[in-house]
Amino acid sequence: MTTRYTEDHEWITVEGDVATVGITNYAQEQLGDVVFVELPDAGKTVAKGDEAAVVESVKAASEVFAPLDGEIVEANTALADEPGKVNEDPEGAAWFVKIRMSDKSQLDGMMDADAYKAHLEGL
């Protein structure tokens, strides 16, 4: 399974027409200790760049943006009870939403792991 990355520090994995979206380790390090996660309801339609979730930490509140167009088919409700999972396993169990993609070509403009690593080095 290939992982793609956005400049907003989201990661995306794809299985069929469903993309799983979370934030990168870099993003969770910048946030600090996550204390609250707000997730959308399944069935919500999002466009690329729309707010898909909200993460609050001891430092700040931050939006997680939809990296592509589609419909939310699932939210990781475990994060509501255990927001600290975002700090513990940001690129695994702490995914935020699953989106049924309406335009797979939007993946083409995203970075692969090597390009994302180079992007981080430039920050």
pLDDT digit string (tens) for 17-47? 999 999 999 999 999 999 999 999 999 999 9
37: containing domain: 3-105
Q: Is residue 63 part of a domain?
A: yes
Q: Is residue 83 part of a domain?
A: yes
Cα separation, 108 vs 2, whole angstroms: 12
CB 68 within 8 A of CB 107: yes
Residues in the chain: 123
Model pLDDT, residue 2: 87
Q: Does 91 score more than 80 pLDDT? A: yes
Model pLDDT, residue 112: 97
Q: pTM of the prediction?
A: 0.95
Q: Is residue 116 part of a domain?
A: no
Q: Is residue 118 part of a domain?
A: no
Model pLDDT, residue 20: 98
Averaged over 82-91, what is the pLDDT?
Answer: 97
Domains identified in the chain, total number: 1
